[in-house]
Amino acid sequence: MVDTTSVEALAATLLAPLYPRAHLERHRELSSLDANPGGNPRFVETMEETSRVFARLAGHALGRDGLSLDEGDASVHRLSDALTRDARDRLIGERGPDGAPLLAHLLVHGVAYVGTCAARQHGGVWRFRDPLWESRLALSSRAGDAELSILSWWLRALTDEEIGRGTLGERYRRYVEVPCTEPLALAPWLPEARPLPRLKRPKYDTLNRYLKAHLPELRDLGEHFPSPERFVELAFDWLDFVVLGGGRMLLMHGPASSGVHLMWLDTAGFVKSVYHPADAFPAHVVRRLDDDRIALVRSLQGRELVDEMLWWGP
């Protein structure tokens, strides 16, 4: 029986049987070596071929015939939504010709697929390892340079803690799509210097009155903004408003019953949100770090924490 409680357990039971014994003995050494120092293009071709095989077969394997996997960003999220507990457990029980669970084959081919999506759409460059499923993807963006471990994303998404929660797509969004966004392509729509007072004891109706008085450019909170009932449940103590990106985005943030909520809005209303647990005192602070980054300063269990993020959100 495959242990699905942790990344380490999954790796040990799914992947270890696929490694030659000699490789396991030198695993740490080999996993740090460049497997393609000469830049042989065949390595990239192999990843692309593996990605195409995955795209043809994954939908059927996951019980989602018709699943569209076209190596676009949106396809990673469709794939992520198809990673259900039922599909995972069924693929653990089915075996391939080599005796390994079909889930192991889905996993190693899936690394090639997700990495190829990021390479095609955002200019990522493979950093090859032996075996190829341990390869990383180098990505340069406004957030800096990073090497992404796609294998780690897959293993985490398949654990009991994360299965069925769409976390493969969430990591792709956070570490690929958001950093590679071109935020300056967004049109400015707010004057950055406008003073925006704090909204004390916010309610849904007082929020709408506030926006009409101070932010008339925002005509609608958007389809996905919290409903009036949900807004009441959040129980904000207050709300602050910050214009970011030279007037391209509005950040709304405030303390709720057990933490801090941040919500980003553009001309069409709600775009995204993030929640961080925090102590009620001292109050959190949002600071500008530079042209691209902001920081949330909060206290949690008496310790000060600083969470850096791009001004257009996580």
Strand order in the sheet with 199-200: 199-200, 238-244, 249-255, 259-266, 269-277
Say how far apart CA 12 and CA 3 lie, in whole Å. Answer: 9
Residues β-bridged to residue 273: 263
The whole-number mean pLDDT for each consecutive block of 10 residues of the chain, a chain of 314 residues, reads: 91 85 70 90 98 97 96 96 97 87 96 98 96 95 92 97 95 93 90 93 95 94 92 95 96 93 94 94 95 96 96 91
Q: What is the pLDDT of residue 142?
A: 82
Q: State the distance between the two ends of the chain, measured CA to CA, in whole angstroms.
A: 37
Phi, psi of 258 (to 5 degrees): -135, 15
Phi, psi of 228 (to 5 degrees): -55, -40
Say how far apart CA 95 and CA 17 lie, in whole Å. Answer: 13
Q: What is the pLDDT of residue 18?
A: 86
Say how far apart CA 256 and CA 276 lie, in whole Å. Answer: 10
Q: What is the pLDDT of residues 192-230, one digit of tens each?
A: 888 999 999 999 999 999 999 999 999 899 988 999 999
Q: Tell me the two tokens of residue 212.
A: 């009409």
Say how far apart CA 170 and CA 133 lie, in whole Å. Answer: 20
Parse the chain into domains and list their residue ranges: 7-180, 186-310
Say how far apart CA 167 and CA 164 lie, in whole Å. Answer: 8
Q: What is the pLDDT of residue 24?
A: 67
Q: How many angstroms from the chain centroid is the CA of residue 12?
A: 25
Q: What is the pLDDT of residue 242?
A: 97
Closest CA to 34 of 125, 112, 144: 125
Contacts of 33 (CB under 8 A, 6+ apart): 129, 130
Say how far apart CA 115 and CA 274 lie, in whole Å. Answer: 26
* Percent of the chain's residues with pLDDT above 70: 98
